[in-house]
Structure formats: C-alpha cells, structure tokens
Amino acid sequence: MIFRKKENFTFKNEFDSPLKERRVTDLTFLVNLCSGDDVKIKKYISLYLRLAPVNIEKMGDALENRNFGVLLQTIHDMKSHLKCMGMEQTMTIAQKIERYALAKGGIEFLPGLLSQFRDDFEKSRNELELI
C-alpha cells in the first residue's frame, strides 16, 4: 500500500475512518517527511505507539512524586512524536504541561492536562491502528 503525499493526509482512503469525533492525528507532515515511503511511515507510527504509553506512565509517576524535572524532560521528548503524528491540539496540551513543569507550579491543573493528554493518546492509537 502506498501513501501519497497530499495535503491533510489522514487515511489511505477518506472512507476508511469509522471515527465520528474529532480526529487527533494528521499524517501530512509525516508523509512528507518520509516522502510517502510506507515502510518509514509505519516505522515512525510504530515507534510512537510503543514509546508513548511508557512516557505517559512516566509522566504520571513524575507528577505523583512532584518530580517536575522528569515531567518536563519527558513531555519535551514527546513533542517531536506529536509533531510527526500531526497532533496539534495535543501539542498545545504538551506545551501547557511543559510550562507548568518548568515553573514548578500549576499543580492543580496538571492532573487534568495529563488526563487530556492520555485521552488524546488513546484516540491517536485508535486512529493509527487503522493505517
């Protein structure tokens, strides 16, 4: 199956998506980065799907232990994956988490932001597993 470079790439076929709610991924950037190479695209997606759950758990533990340094580093590391997966709204959540972790403040907002981040990951997993 060949991925074509095109604007707003989402699926191999526009009709492949059974999802009714807001999409969290847009693979346009990734398809262009990989020049449409299926193997490379699937490699990046696989890497994201493998690493994101580990990093989300790590962020949860860091928040629970008030380890802002680990939280900051982990969310920062994940931003490149979010960019590749075209997760703009999730990137905004990541930037807020990063700002609060850097300031070592906003502790009352961090659990909710992390929960939104986790929800977006689950949606992205559902979307990306269809590819």
Q: Which residue has the tokens 């929800």?
A: 119
Query: Contact 65/32 with Cβ under 8 angstroms?
Result: no
Architecture of the domain spanning 23-128? Up-down Bundle (1.20)
Question: Counting beta carbons within 10 angstroms of the beta carbon of residue 76, is it exposed (0 to 12), middle (13 to 18) or buried (19 or more)?
Answer: middle
> Is the pLDDT assigned to residue 16 strictly greater than 60?
no
**SS3 for 96?**
helix
For residue 105, pLDDT beyond 90: no
Question: Is the confidence at residue 8, as pLDDT, over 50?
Answer: no
Provide the pLDDT confidence category of residue 9 given band limits of 50, 70 and 90.
Answer: very low
How much is the pLDDT for 22?
A: 79
